[in-house]
Amino acid sequence: MKKIYIPLLGLFLWQSCSSDLLNTSPESTKVTANFYQDEAQLEEGVNAVYASLQYNGQYQLAMPTIGEIPSDNTFDEVPANDSFTYGEFDFFTIQPNNSLLGSTWKDHYVGIQQANIVLNRIGGISMDQTLKNTRTGEMRFLRALMYFNLVRIFGDVPLVTKETTDVNEYFGQGRTSAQTVYDFIETELKASVDMLPAVTSQKGRVTKGAALGILGKVLMTRNKFAEALPYLQRIEPLGYSLLSDVNKIFDPANKNNAEIIFDVQFASGLNGNTEGSQAYQMFSPSGFVSGAKGHNLPTKEVYAVFGAGDSRRNAFVGLTPNGVPYSKKLVKTSNAIADGGSNTVVLRLADVDLLMAECYAKANDFDNSNLYLNKTRIRAGLSPVSLTSQEQLLNEIALERRKELIGEGHRWFDLVRTGKAVSVMTAHFQNTPGYNTAVIKDYNLLMPVPQGQINTDPAIKQNPGY
C-alpha cells in the first residue's frame, strides 16, 4: 500500500520544560491513541510542535535558505557541496528532487500533524481553562505559521486541519487552492491573537505580539495593507523595543531580548549536542571554520549597499581574509560547529516597523511612513529621510528591509510579494560576474512540488514550468 504524502507520525515525548527555556529534546515515541491522558502528557505534545520548528526543513536550514539564496542578498559559494542542493536556488535550476525542498514539505507537515493531534485532544484534558486557551492559541498560531511558509513556497498545498488517523484519508484529493489556504491562515491567526498572552515566562513561547505580527505580514502578502496596519500597531505597546546597539541583537549572550518577538530556540552542548543548529556550519565560508559548507553567504553587492556610515555593515556582515562576506548573525558557540547556539529569528520589532512604514506609504501617509522608516535608519547611524512620494518611500523601505534583515529569510518573499522578483534578479544576474547563464522566469516565483509527493499520490500535480 502506498503511504500518503502527509506524514502520519506517532507522538514524540519530550522532556519537561525548564522555567525559562522551552526544552524540545526527544526521548521516545508512543502511540497517540494511548496518550494525552493528562495535562503533563499534553504539554509534551505541545513541545513536540515547537520542536518541529527546529527541523532542517523548517527554521534550522530551509526557511533561511529559501528566503535568501534565490534573492540578491545571498549566494552559494560552493554549489557542488551537498550535491548542488543549495546551488540550485542560486541559479534557479531547482529540481523537483531537491532534497531540501523535500524536507521542507515533509517537516512542515510533521509539525502540522502534531498540532492537529494536540488540538483534537486538548478539549478532553482536565486543566486550567486559561492555560488551555493559551496552548490552543499557540497550536493554532504555529499551524498557521507553517501553512504560511508552505503556501508562499509552493502555492497550492493540501490543507489538513484535523488529526490524520487513516493514511488514505487524503489520498487522491490533490492540492488546496492558495486562496483557501490563506483564508484559513488568517482565521487561525485572528483567533490566536485573542487566546495568547502578551508576555510569557518561557523563552521561545508564542505570544500575542507574534500572532499580530505574522497576521500583519500575511495580510500584506495578500495586498491588504489597510487591514494589516491596525494589527501591526498593537505590537510595540506590548513592551517590545529596538535595541540601541545593533551589535547586541544577535549576541548569544543577549538572546530573547526586547526586540525579539518570536524566534526558534537552539542551544549548544545540550542532550548530546542535539539541541544546536547546523546553520553556522552550513552558512559559513568554505575554510572559514572546519567543515564549513559555504552556502547562503551575503553577496558582495549587499555588503557594499550598506555604505561606510551604516553600523549594520560590520555588525551583521563580516569579511574573511580573502574578502568573502559571511553573516555575523550566526555565531560560533562551541567547538562542535554543527551544534550552533544561535536562535533563528522569525519576527522582530525592526521588521514590524518597516512593515508599518510600508502600510503607511500605501495609504499615502508620508509623515508616519518616514517616521517608521527612520527608526532603523537612525539606529544604524544614518541620517533620517523625509521622502514625499509613495514610490520613493516604497523603494527606500525595500532597501532598508534588505539591509536590516539580511540573512533572516525575508528578502526573497519580499521580492515576490511586491512583484519585483523577476526584474530585480534579472538585473542582478546581468551585473554580477558568474551568473551569465542564470535566468529567472515567472514560474520560478513558486518552488517545485517535491517529486516524492507526486510519485506517492498522482493527484498532487507539479507547479507549471518544472
- How far apart are the C-alpha atoms of 383 and 375, rounded to whole Å? 10
Least-confidence region, from 21-30, 92-101, 135-144, 276-285: 21-30
Is pLDDT of 208 > 60? yes
On whether residue 389 sits in a domain, the answer given is no
Is pLDDT of 18 > 50? no
pLDDT band at 28 (very low <50, low <70, confident <90, very high): very low
On whether residue 432 sits in a domain, the answer given is yes
On whether residue 19 sits in a domain, the answer given is yes
Quickly list DSSP for 183-251. HHHHHHHHHHHHHS-S--SSBT---HHHHHHHHHHHHHHTT-HHHHHHHHHTTGGGT----S-GGGTT-
- For residue 438, the domain's CATH number is 1.25.40.390
Mean pLDDT of the 83-110 span: 97
Give the pLDDT confidence of 293-346 residue by residue, as tens digits: 999 999 999 999 998 899 999 999 999 999 999 999 999 998 899 999 999 999
On whether residue 140 sits in a domain, the answer given is yes
pLDDT (0 to 100) of residue 170: 74
On whether residue 462 sits in a domain, the answer given is yes
pLDDT (0 to 100) of residue 31: 53
On whether residue 217 sits in a domain, the answer given is no
Is pLDDT of 460 > 90? yes
Mean pLDDT of the 126-137 span: 96
pLDDT (0 to 100) of residue 271: 85
374-411 burial code (b ≥16 CB/10 A, e <16): bbbbebbebeeeebeebeebbebbbebbbbbbbbbbbb
- Higher-confidence residue of 404 and 201: namely 404
Mean pLDDT of the 67-84 span: 96
On whether residue 129 sits in a domain, the answer given is yes
- How far apart are the C-alpha atoms of 311 and 333, rounded to whole Å? 23
Mean pLDDT of the 195-221 span: 97
- How far apart are the C-alpha atoms of 410 and 403, rounded to whole Å? 11
Strand partners, 14: 26
Three-state SS string over 124-171 comes to HCCCCHHHHHHHHHHHHHHHHHHHHHHHHHHCCECCCCCCCCCCCCCC
On whether residue 291 sits in a domain, the answer given is no
Is pLDDT of 30 > 60? no
Q: What is the mean pLDDT of the chain?
A: 92
Domain count of the chain? Answer: 1
pTM above 0.85, yes or no: yes
Nearest Cα to Cα of residue 113 among 163, 157, 181, 166: 163
Is pLDDT of 377 > 70? yes
Is pLDDT of 24 > 80? no
Least-confidence region, from 162-166, 219-223, 322-326, 352-356: 162-166
- How far apart are the C-alpha atoms of 162 and 170, rounded to whole Å? 11
pLDDT (0 to 100) of residue 5: 32
pLDDT (0 to 100) of residue 7: 34
pLDDT band at 57 (very low <50, low <70, confident <90, very high): very high
Give the pLDDT confidence of 263-293 residue by residue, as tens digits: 999 999 888 888 899 999 999 999 999 999 9
Mean pLDDT of the 147-155 span: 98
pLDDT (0 to 100) of residue 113: 95
* Contact in structure between 119 and 135 (CB atoms under 8 Å): no
336: CB partners within 8 A, 6+ apart: 268, 269, 273, 276
Is pLDDT of 10 > 50? no
Range of the domain at 459: 1-205+419-466
Is pLDDT of 32 > 90? no
